[in-house]
Amino acid sequence: MTPPLPQLLYEETVRRALTEDLGRGGDITSDAVVPKDARATGSLVARADLRVCGLDVAALTFRLLDPEIEFLSFKKDGCDAARGDTLASVSGRAGALLSAERVALNFLGRLSGIATTTRSVVSSVAHTQARIVSTRKTTPGLRVLEKYAVRCGGGQNHRLGLDDAVLIKDNHRALAGGVKEALARARANVGHMIKIEIEVDTLDQLREALEAGADAVLLDNMPPETLREAVSLARGRCLTEASGGITPANVRAVAETGVDLISLGWLTHSAPSADVAFDL
């Protein structure tokens, strides 16, 4: 089971989303129509089979508008739910439930969608050694949550940001003067705990990277036959990662080349939201 995220990591994000929705005057519809003392109970329901992610985020969304709201989860993040399953029950002041509903569903649907897509991709390559990892192609402001959703789906994370690993891309190589020069500069300027990965486009660049002692190589936009040769060259010398244009449609073929890692920006920039409803 995926460990839950500390609330501190996403509370500001939830507050911003609520502020965006409530605007300058609050929920004028609920304020006008719903009696102030009305109470209600609602259910968060899966409208399709999905991998659950975002229940704690949804709970916080409701509680920020009414701290006394009772949120009872029947599922946990990282678990599967079938169409029609009730994910959680929410009870409290009716106006607060209605005002928080859309933001809570936006988070729950988005994160469950990423987790569900990741689950499918991971399952499709389960017969290989390849691990599925996410990229930095995330929605601005939602990276921590979207990366968490990938983990809930059974995937793993690549870098969370620019500060936790060195990844030398093609533009870095060009500005440094080549593969060996870029790797040498990186080795000289980062601490001994930092892993260094370099993107290569050709087998000649791969050979250069291997000779220079890269910890990992990102094999960019290589067709399967080239990937197989690259994996053979690098075997036992460094980790291999396939990247570039990989989708659920072609990920199986990529995994069967023997690469260690497959990074898919698709998981976080193109996964459809899961269908989740809030029924009062």
Spatial separation of the C-alpha atoms in residues 183 and 199, rounded to whole Å: 11
> Phi then psi for 278, rounded to 5 degrees?
-120, 110
Which residues, including other chains, have CB under 8 Å from residue 74's CB and lie 6 or more apart?
A: 85, 86, 87, 88, 89
Q: What are phi and psi of 139, to 5 degrees?
A: -70, 125
> How far apart are the C-alpha atoms of 78 and 119, rounded to whole Å?
10
**Given 21, 66, 75, 102, the catalytic residue:** 102
Compute how many other C-beta atoms are within 10 angstroms of the C-beta atom of residue 191: 5
Annotated catalytic residue: which of 66, 80, 208, 220? 220
Name which of 265, 268, 263 is nearest 132 in CA terms.
Answer: 263
Query: What distance in Å separates the CA atoms of residue 19 and residue 60, rounded to the nearest whole number?
Result: 14
CB atoms within 10 A of CB 30: 16
Which listed residue (76, 137, 207, 237) is catalytic? 137
Q: Which of 83, 169, 204, 211 is catalytic?
A: 169
Q: Which two tokens stand for residue 91?
A: 């009870």
Options 27, 85, 146, 199, the catalytic residue: 199
Instruction: State the angle between helix axes of 94-124 and 11-22 in degrees (0 to 180), rounded to the nearest 10.
Output: 130
Structure-derived torsion over alpha carbons of residues 200, 206, 211, 216, reported in degrees to the nearest 10: 60
Identify whether the C-beta of residue 147 lies closer than 8 Å to the C-beta of residue 157.
yes
Residue 220 is a catalytic residue: yes
Active site residue 169: yes
- Residue appearing with tokens 């192609």: 137
Contacts of 164 (CB under 8 A, 6+ apart): none
Which residues are known catalytic residues? Answer: 102, 137, 169, 199, 220
